[in-house]
Each structure stands twice: as C-alpha cells, then as structure tokens.
C-alpha cells in the first residue's frame, strides 16, 4: 500500500517537474543555443532530486541548501505557472504578437518568483511577537500574573541554524518571561547540525525564573534512542516532558505529551488522573488535537504548533479545515488554546501568508 502511494507521488511529482521544465524551456529556447538543452535537462533533474540526495548524503550543507530552495521554487511555480499560462492563452484572443507574449510571460514569471522568494525569506527569518491576554480563574503566583513566552517549530537544522537560534534567544530574553514553553519540533529530524552549530549552548542562555519546558513533536527524532535525544536537549537547561507532569513553584502544573503520531502516547485522562485541579494546569501538545477532551479534564491552557499556518498560502486553507484551531486563539469553556505558526520552517525556507513568530501570553489569575 505504502509502496503504491509512494509510486503515485513520484509520478505526480515527475509530471509537475516536467511541466515546470517545459515551461522554462519554451520561454528561453529562442534566446539560447540548442546545445544548452542537455545542460538544462541535467540541471533540472539534479534540482528535482536534490532534496532526496540531501537525505542520502547526510551532513551536506550544500545539498540541504539547494534542496530546500528547490522546494521553495517548486512550490511557488506550482502556484504561478497555471496563472501565467491562463493569461498567455487569453492573449490569443487579442492581436498581441505571439513572440512578445512568450518573452514577457517568462520575464514576469521570473520576476514574480524572485520577489516571492525574497518576501517569503524575509517572513521566515524576521520573527515578530504575537501577544495574547488570558485570565485563568484559579489562584496563581503571588503577583497574580504570569508572563509566558512560547515558541514552537524551530526546526533547527542547516537553514534554521545558529543565527536563527541566537535571534530567538535575544527576542525571548528581551520579553523578560517568567516561564518559557516549547511545544515541539525543536530539531528537524537530524541532530547533527544542532550539535555541530552549538545551538544547544545558545538555547541555554534563555533566562526565565520558573524555567524552560518542552514537549516533543513529529520532527524531534533521530536514529538513536529517544532518551539520548531528550538528554541532549536537556543540556540546554530545558526540561523535556515526555508524557510527564511536573509541579512548578508549588502552584502550577505542567503536562508535556508525546506527539500525536506516537502510538505509545498516553491518554490525557491518564496523565491528569492524580492532579490537583485547584492548580492552574497547562498542557504542551505539539499537534492541536483533542481540545474537547482537554476541556473536560480541567486543562486551563493548551499551547501547540505543528500547523505552520500552512507556511505557504493557500495551504492555510487546508490547515484551517484539518484543525479546529490552526493558528491563534480559541476558547472552549475554561480552556484557552493557543496555536503558533512557528518560529522556524519545514522544507522551503520561506513563509508566505504567515510569519515566523514568538508568542507572548500574559496570564492573570484570581488571587483571593
């Protein structure tokens, strides 16, 4: 079954690559030598397979860089080319010279592609702070207030690297949080760039009186044992909650769940069975599922990520269909749910229709 699905995917992918290649050649063939055709075909095949080669030859920054930007180009051209070809077809109803239409359609396509990649790269590497104010009708800290900073989906790797980590730590520390929460996808499937770039040492510089806590996502994995990954992450002065609960400051309970895709994940009812319900209860759950269950079990706040808000529009229309809350704030009874679009990115290092973000949650409590 999986082999059949994989073959279907490869056939569809190959057809789209052919469509992109044919479009490019039809626009440039009048300006270049026919001898260039072989170079063009070889280059296209290399680009189309680059993200696969990056997985085969692990540790290659060049292949990862090329593969990631190819995915960006591929994604954008899938959106741009049908529109351009429709416009070209409509010009047949006019008296515009065919060769001029062909040449300018290529120029417009290339210009749009460059502009969108530039705009998308800016959104991916220029995080902003998204703020929410919530009230929890339980007793909190002495001040009655808690400043929570949350970041998800950093996908630290070759392109979301050390500089991006430094940027995140500086933004977090500037907000002077009381507590920091990372609900998953801290790394991007490969621990090598995280270690080699010293990203763990960067994250260790986060300052928060109540500490830094994390749950794991579907990309927080590598070829070794999960306990080794957790131990490595915890060298960064964060505590990973892997289907675990923890008491913070004697008044707050945190729960961190395994990812929704993990078949060994415990039921939420099991994790909340012996909790003191008079304490505020906050849940880190990478994928935003099961809000109804969390509400019934007395959870006060769920923080999640995973969706990236589609990352490249109009994929946000898909995520909004799949998830009850795919980005932003949703309240259900006493339960507050906040889903981040993420600080990093997966695959193409661009964001269109979303922007890298850090979430600031200003929580107040009913201290009587």
Count: domains in the chain: 2
Q: Is the distance from CB of 313 to CB of 333 less than 8 angstroms?
A: no
Q: Which of 68, 93, 123 is the last residue of a domain?
A: 123
Please provide the average confidence, as pLDDT, over all residues in the chain: 93
In tens, the pLDDT along 267-288 reads 999 999 989 999 999 999 999 9
Give the pLDDT score at 143. Answer: 93
Q: Distance between CA atoms of 303 and 341, rounded to whole angstroms?
A: 11
Average pLDDT over residues 113-128: 95
Where does the pLDDT of residue 180 fall: very low under 50, low under 70, confident under 90, or very high at 90 and above? very high
Q: Is a pLDDT exceeding 90 seen at residue 164? A: yes
Range of the structural domain that residue 213 is part of: 128-365
Q: Where residue 222 sits, what CATH number does that domain have?
A: 3.60.21.10
Question: Does one domain contain both 60 and 148?
Answer: no
| pTM, two decimal places | 0.91
Where does the pLDDT of residue 202 fall: very low under 50, low under 70, confident under 90, or very high at 90 and above? very high
Give the pLDDT score at 26. Answer: 85
Q: Which of 123, 143, 172 is the last residue of a domain?
A: 123
Q: Which of 123, 155, 186 is the last residue of a domain?
A: 123
Q: Which contacts qualify for 28-32: CB closer than 8 Å, 24 or more apart?
A: 28/106, 30/99, 30/102, 30/103
DSSP 93: G
| 13 vs 27 pLDDT, higher one | 13
Question: Does one domain contain both 208 and 336?
Answer: yes
Where does the pLDDT of residue 113 fall: very low under 50, low under 70, confident under 90, or very high at 90 and above? very high
Question: Does one domain contain both 275 and 156?
Answer: yes
Question: Does one domain contain both 105 and 246?
Answer: no
Question: Does one domain contain both 307 and 236?
Answer: yes
Question: Does one domain contain both 119 and 71?
Answer: yes
Chain-centroid distance of CA 246 in Å reads: 26
Q: Is a pLDDT exceeding 90 seen at residue 35? A: no
Q: Is a pLDDT exceeding 80 seen at residue 34? A: no
Q: What percent of the chain has pLDDT over 70?
A: 99
Question: Does one domain contain both 194 and 87?
Answer: no
Q: Is a pLDDT exceeding 80 seen at residue 56? A: no
Q: Is a pLDDT exceeding 90 seen at residue 93? A: no
Question: Does one domain contain both 53 and 73?
Answer: yes
Give the pLDDT score at 342. Answer: 97
């Amino acid at each position: 079954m999986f082999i059949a699905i994989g073959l279907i995917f490869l056939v569809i992918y190959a057809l789209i690559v052919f469509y992109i290649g044919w479009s490019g050649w039809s626009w440039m063939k009048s300006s270049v030598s026919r001898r260039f055709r072989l170079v063009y075909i070889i280059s296209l095949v290399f680009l189309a397979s680059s993200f696969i080669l990056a997985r085969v030859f692990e540790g290659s920054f060049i292949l990862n860089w090329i593969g990631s930007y190819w995915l960006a180009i591929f994604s954008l051209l899938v959106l741009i080319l049908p529109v351009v070809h429709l416009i070209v077809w409509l010009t047949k109803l006019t008296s515009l010279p065919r060769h001029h239409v062909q040449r300018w359609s290529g120029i417009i396509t290339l210009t749009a592609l460059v502009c969108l990649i530039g705009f998308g790269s800016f959104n991916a590497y220029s995080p902003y702070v998204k703020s929410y104010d919530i009230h929890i009708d339980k007793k909190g800290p002495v001040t009655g207030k808690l400043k929570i900073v949350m970041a998800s989906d950093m996908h630290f790797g070759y392109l979301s690297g050390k500089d991006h980590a430094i940027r995140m730590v500086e933004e977090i520390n500037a907000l002077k949080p009381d507590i920091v929460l990372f609900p998953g996808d801290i790394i991007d499937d490969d621990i090598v760039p995280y270690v080699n770039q010293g990203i763990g040492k960067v994250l260790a510089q986060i300052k928060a009186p109540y500490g830094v806590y994390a749950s794991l996502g579907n990309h927080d994995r590598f070829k070794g044992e999960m306990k080794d990954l957790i131990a490595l992450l915890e060298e960064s002065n964060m505590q990973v909650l892997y289907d675990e609960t923890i008491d913070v400051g004697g008044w707050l309970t945190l729960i961190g769940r395994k990812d929704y895709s993990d078949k060994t994940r415990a039921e939420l009812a099991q994790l909340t069975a012996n909790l003191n319900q008079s304490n505020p209860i906050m849940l880190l759950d990478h994928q935003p599922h099961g809000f109804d269950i969390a509400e019934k079990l007395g959870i006060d706040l769920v923080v999640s990520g995973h969706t990236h808000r589609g990352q490249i529009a109009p994929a946000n229309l898909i995520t909004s269909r799949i998830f009850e809350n795919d980005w932003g704030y949703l309240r259900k009874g006493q339960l507050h749910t906040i889903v981040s679009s993420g600080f990093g990115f997966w695959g193409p290092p661009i964001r269109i229709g979303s922007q890298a973000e850090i979430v600031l949650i200003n929580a107040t409590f009913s201290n009587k």
